[in-house]
């Protein structure tokens, strides 16, 4: 019974981020722009990042795709804002481990709403949907 309640809560968190995305849009000022897509299912993301002094100061996204892809982008932008680039990349690796059903270090960084996506690991075809925004973020900060 408790597992069903947790599963329901996680679905609600995902749908909330999908229907009410955080940080949707584009940055007003210049930033790093990354465009990526998932040709398998048609998910597309346009991510803009503002990185100053080795820190992700702001992040916004636009795009279209399934609820998993868009919710993950919303959660990712919230999670990386204010983090040192190194910590943002570390969080990305923790997220990938979670998506692959591997053990992950949830002690080093607060996963917050991201934990709602851990069920995606049961659906291998959806992992690319969940990781698209994260791959875009990593590509963006690596170009900095």
The model carries a pTM of 0.93
Distance CA 138, CA 22 (A): 19
- Sheet architecture: strand order including 55-64: 32-38, 43-52, 55-64
* CATH at residue 17: 3.90.1010.10
Dump pLDDT digits (tens) for 47-75.
999 999 999 999 999 999 999 999 999 99
Distance CA 25, CA 27 (A): 7
Q: Which domain holds residue 16?
A: 2-142
Dump pLDDT digits (tens) for 93-113.
999 999 998 888 777 777 889
- Confidence check: pLDDT of 33 > 70: yes
Q: What is the pLDDT of residue 41?
A: 87
Kindly report the number of other CB atoms within 10 A of residue 68's CB atom. 24
**Tally of domains in the chain:** 1
Confidence band (pLDDT; 50, 70, 90) for 30?
confident
Confidence band (pLDDT; 50, 70, 90) for 10?
confident
- Confidence check: pLDDT of 5 > 80: no
Mean pLDDT of the chain: 92
Q: What is the pLDDT of residue 28?
A: 87
Q: How far is CA 20 from CA 15, 85, 114, 135, 143, in A?
A: 8, 26, 15, 22, 30
Q: What is the pLDDT of residue 1?
A: 42
What average pLDDT does the segment 4-33 reach? 91
């Amino acid at each position: 019974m408790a597992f069903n309640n947790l599963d329901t809560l996680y679905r609600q968190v995902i749908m909330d981020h999908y229907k009410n995305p955080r940080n949707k849009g584009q940055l007003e000022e210049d930033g790093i722009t990354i465009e990526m897509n998932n040709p398998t299912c048609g998910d597309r993301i346009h991510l803009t990042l503002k990185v100053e002094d080795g820190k992700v100061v702001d992040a916004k996204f636009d795009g279209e795709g399934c609820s998993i892809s868009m919710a993950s982008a919303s959660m990712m932008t919230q999670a990386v804002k204010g983090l040192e680039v190194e910590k943002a990349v570390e969080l990305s690796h923790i997220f990938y481990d979670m998506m692959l059903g591997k053990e992950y270090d949830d002690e080093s960084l607060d996963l917050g709403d991201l934990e709602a996506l851990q069920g995606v690991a049961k659906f291998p075809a959806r992992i690319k949907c969940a990781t698209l925004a994260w791959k875009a973020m990593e590509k963006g900060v690596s170009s900095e």
